[in-house]
């Protein structure tokens, strides 16, 4: 197999895998009312069906990133896609909501493994001149999963039942698993062979994230406040520990000594916080203030994702030719303009203005995400 074919195969495999997690995360939301009816689920347990997946993924992403550094990206990627596929089948045959939640937690473990390895494998295979294009296609698959999830999930739930969503992921997962086994022969990426795993740091990180996220979900109750306080304490001790240990699970020194890496990650955090909260708030605005049905509200909100999907491949190619920070700054500027316009909306605001804002935000996010990711990945030294 030529080097060019290697790169194309790697991009195909990682892109398909990257599509699965966001697709599954977004598609299951439209099926929740049907699941609640079939399995006789109360509101609290119903909320844990999507939360179990997202929380487990978030808790284990950083620890698995370190594990992949030590034991190999391909190995962890393959284990991750295998776990994701098996857990999808288990979710499809769930006899109870408790079994479904447990299966979703396992699925979150596989998702974390895929998430932390896919982008590293891409940047390890592609040269600097083609990296932006490859990253753009991978990010496009992520947003495409978020876009198609509710649409395909709604159709599958309505005509074939909610279990069909999970059944759909099984052949896709098996296909990717087969590609990895047969096409990734004699290929591996690891840069920390011989280093030790930071077990204490892994536990502290997962504990901190669990306490903060679960605590804020119950912040109005006393035990919710206690959990948040424990999470903040855990975060402080985590920082203290990571700065002292020889092989940290998260090298915090890089944020101190590498300004490009630190500020690019900060920009990414600000972008996600500002833009994704917009979707949450506008969904209420469109339905309660403008009186739209959930279907029409969803279609308007999906316009942003369509714009992102169309823009990310373009910005990927541009980031190979122009300075990544310049493109990312332009994208962030467009996002800012869209957010400023959003502050002026009221009961009389035209739906057409809302659509224009969604397009504007989508273009801004699409122009920002790929160059910023390119800047992050190229700002650190490759070890593999």
What does the pLDDT read at residue 1?
Answer: 46
What tokens does 231 get?
């999470």
In a 13 Å sphere around the CA of 209, the CA atoms on its Cβ side amount to 15
Decide: 337 and 329 in contact? Cβ < 8 Å. no
Mean pLDDT of the region 21-39:
82
- State the DSSP string of 247-272: S-SS-THHHHH-HHHHHHHHHHHHHH
Lowest mean pLDDT among 159-173, 289-303, 344-358: 289-303
As a whole number, mean pLDDT of residues 312-331 equals: 79
pLDDT(84) > 80: yes
Exposure of 287 by Cβ count < 10 A (0-12 exposed, 13-18 middle, 19+ buried)?
A: middle
Of the pLDDT bands very low, low, confident and very high (cuts 50, 70, 90), residue 187 is low
Closest residue by Cα to residue 325 from 382, 263, 381, 275: 263
Q: Average the pLDDT over each of 74-78, 117-121, 129-133, 198-202 and give the range with the smallest value.
A: 129-133
Lowest-pLDDT range, 3-7, 97-101, 199-203, 243-247? 3-7
User: What CA–CA distance (Å, rounded) separates 300 from 263?
Assistant: 32
- Quick check: 148 and 30 in contact, CB under 8 A? no
Burial class (CB in 10 A: 0-12, 13-18, 19+), 359: middle
Residue 334: pLDDT band with limits 50, 70, 90: very high
Copy the structure tokens of residue 136: 């753009």
Mean pLDDT of the chain: 81
For residue 382, name the pLDDT band (cuts at 50, 70, 90).
Answer: low
CA atoms within 13 Å, Cβ hemisphere of 67: 19
Tens-place pLDDT, residues 39-65: 887 777 777 888 888 888 888 888 888
381 pLDDT band (50/70/90 cuts)?
Answer: low
Q: Which residue has the tokens 């969904």?
A: 283
At 109, the pLDDT band (50, 70, 90 cuts) reads very high
Q: Packing angle between helix 3-27 and helix 97-125, nearest 10 degrees?
A: 150
- pLDDT, position 226: 92
* Predicted TM-score (pTM) above 0.85: no
Q: How far is CA 265 from CA 95, 120, 248, 274, in A?
A: 42, 16, 19, 14
Answer left, alpha or beta for residue 245, where phi above 0 means left and psi between -120 and 50 means alpha: beta
pLDDT digits (tens, 9 = 90+) for 322-333: 777 788 888 889
For residue 373, what pLDDT band results from cuts at 50, 70 and 90? confident
How far is CA 262 from its chain centroid? 19
Residue 276: predicted pLDDT: 63
Cβ(8)–Cβ(135) below 8 Å: no
Q: Which two tokens stand for residue 295?
A: 């279907």
CA–CA distances in Å: residue 143 to residues 23, 262, 271? 9, 24, 15
pLDDT of residue 192: 61
Whether the per-residue pLDDT at 361 is higher than 50: the answer is yes
């Amino acid at each position: 197999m030529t080097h060019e074919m290697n790169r194309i195969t790697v991009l195909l495999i990682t892109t398909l895998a990257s599509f699965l997690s966001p697709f599954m995360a977004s598609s299951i939301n439209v099926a929740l009312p049907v699941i609640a009816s079939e399995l006789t689920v109360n509101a609290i347990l119903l909320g844990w069906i999507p939360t179990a997946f997202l929380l487990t993924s978030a808790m284990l992403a950083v620890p698995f990133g370190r594990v992949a550094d030590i034991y190999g990206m391909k190995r962890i990627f393959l284990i991750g896609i295998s776990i994701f596929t098996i857990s999808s089948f288990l979710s499809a045959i769930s006899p109870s909501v408790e079994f479904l939640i447990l299966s979703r937690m396992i699925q979150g473990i596989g998702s974390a493994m895929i998430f932390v390895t896919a982008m590293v494998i891409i940047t390890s295979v592609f040269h600097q001149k083609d990296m932006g294009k490859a990253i753009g296609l991978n990010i496009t698959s992520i947003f495409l999963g978020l876009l198609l999830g509710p649409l395909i999930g709604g159709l599958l739930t309505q005509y074939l039942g909610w279990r069909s969503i999970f059944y759909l992921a099984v052949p896709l997962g098996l296909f990717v698993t087969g590609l990895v086994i047969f096409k990734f022969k004699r290929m591996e990426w690891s840069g920390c062979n011989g280093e030790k795993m930071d077990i204490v740091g892994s536990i502290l990180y997962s504990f901190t994230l669990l306490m903060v996220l679960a605590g804020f979900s119950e912040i109005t109750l006393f035990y919710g406040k206690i959990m948040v306080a424990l999470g903040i304490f855990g975060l402080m001790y985590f920082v203290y520990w990571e700065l002292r240990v020889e092989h940290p699970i998260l090298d915090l020194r890089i944020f101190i000594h590498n300004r490009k890496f630190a500020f690019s990650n900060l920009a990414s955090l600000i972008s996600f916080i500002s833009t994704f909260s917009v979707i949450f708030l506008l969904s209420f605005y469109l339905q309660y203030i403008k009186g739209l049905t959930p279907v029409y509200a969803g279609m308007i909100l999906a316009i942003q994702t369509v714009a992102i999907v169309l823009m990310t491949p373009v910005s990927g190619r541009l980031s190979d030719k122009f300075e990544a920070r310049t493109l990312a700054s332009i994208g962030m500027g467009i996002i800012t303009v869209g957010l400023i316009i959003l502050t002026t909306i009221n009961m009389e605001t035209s739906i057409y203005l809302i659509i224009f804002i969604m397009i504007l935000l989508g273009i801004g996010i699409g122009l920002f995400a790929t160059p910023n990711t390119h800047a992050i990945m190229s700002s650190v030294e490759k070890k593999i």
